[in-house]
């Protein structure tokens, strides 16, 4: 799964990198420890324009009774997005990219109760483009649609590449620039072709290192979280 990630790039840089034509007015504070249920940047296509917007992390399907349903839908397994009711409609028409400057995963350490967190990022320092899905939710009683809709998203996960497999059995699906147009195109209904885009990123594109367990605390969001841990837990096999 992907339960924490880094979002430190300013929106103007993200807009340029993802060739965005419109940017939302809301600006998020940089965070090196983004957690579920928080707002995150997303790249979507709307009204024929590629937009950078902010959505709630944790997909809330249109049929949900309340937004808390999204607390359990921060990730969508690539193996089931075409069939599962929570994701099927979004996969068909509401696909997005969730920018990230890296993410965390935790590895079991023999003889230790606590897992060792690792920070995973691109070798070249460029943003990651997580494949995602999004939805729009309103309360059932709002039949006149007078309230502001809740726009939410989820990160698609799949099998890991050989490097991340040393830590965890799943990882976020990352899209190369060549796939962004097809993925975001809301008129693209070739689900078989879209599914073929959802493969593990090459291991050579990523670097990783152990970090402090301070990342376990969602209140800690500073840049020190991605610094290499002072000890060498797990480095013999992963660096």
Which of the 8 DSSP states describes residue 200? Answer: P
DSSP H or E stretch at residue 98: strand 95-100
> What is the Cα–Cα distance from 211 to 103, expressed in whole angstroms?
11
Asked if 153 and 56 touch (Cβ cutoff 8 Å), the reply is yes
> What is the Cα–Cα distance from 100 to 165, expressed in whole angstroms?
20
Which of the 8 DSSP states describes residue 21? Answer: S
Helix (H, G, I), strand (E, B) or coil at 131: strand
- pLDDT tens for each residue of 7-32: 999 999 999 999 999 998 889 999 99
Asked if 151 and 138 touch (Cβ cutoff 8 Å), the reply is no
One digit per residue, pLDDT tens: the chain, 239 residues? 799 999 999 999 999 999 999 998 889 999 999 999 999 999 999 888 999 999 999 999 999 999 999 999 999 999 999 999 999 999 999 999 999 999 999 999 988 889 999 999 999 999 999 999 999 998 887 677 777 899 999 999 999 999 999 999 999 999 999 999 999 999 999 999 999 999 999 999 999 999 999 999 999 999 999 999 975 544 433 43
> What is the Cα–Cα distance from 46 to 97, expressed in whole angstroms?
13
| Marked catalytic residue, from 96, 105, 135, 153 | 105
Among 168, 155, 158, 25, CA closest to 99: 155
Domain boundaries, the chain: 5-238
| Marked catalytic residue, from 2, 45, 96, 153 | 2
Q: Please indicate whether residue 96 is annotated as part of the active site.
A: no
- pLDDT tens for each residue of 41-81: 999 998 889 999 999 999 999 999 999 999 999 999 999 99
Tell me the CATH number of domain 5-238, given options 3.90.1680.10, 3.40.50.300, 3.40.1350.10, 3.40.50.1000.
Answer: 3.90.1680.10
């Amino acid at each position: 799964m992907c339960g924490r990630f880094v979002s430190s790039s300013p929106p103007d840089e993200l807009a340029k990198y993802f060739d965005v034509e419109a940017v939302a007015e809301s600006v998020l504070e940089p965070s090196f420890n983004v957690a579920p249920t928080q707002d995150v940047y997303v790249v979507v296509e709307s009204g024929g324009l590629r937009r950078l917007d902010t959505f709630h992390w944790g997909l809330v399907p249109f049929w949900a009774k309340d937004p808390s349903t999204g607390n359990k839908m921060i990730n969508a397994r690539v193996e089931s997005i075409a069939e599962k009711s929570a994701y099927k409609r979004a996969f068909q028409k509401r696909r997005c990219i969730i920018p990230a400057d890296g993410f965390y995963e935790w590895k079991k350490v023999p003889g230790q109760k606590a897992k060792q967190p690792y920070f995973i990022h691109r070798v070249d320092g460029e943003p990651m483009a997580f494949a995602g899905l999004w939805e729009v939710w309103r309360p059932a009683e709002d039949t006149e649609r007078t309230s502001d809709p809740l726009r939410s998203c989820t990160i698609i996960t799949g099998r890991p590449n050989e490097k991340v497999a040393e830590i965890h059995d799943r990882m976020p699906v990352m899209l190369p620039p060549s796939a962004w147009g097809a993925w975001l195109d809301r008129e693209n209904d070739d689900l078989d072709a879209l599914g073929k885009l959802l493969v593990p990123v090459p291991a050579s594109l990523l670097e990783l290192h152990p970090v402090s367990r301070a990342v376990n605390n969602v209140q800690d969001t500073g840049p020190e979280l991605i610094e290499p841990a002072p000890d060498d837990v797990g480095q013999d096999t992963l660096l």
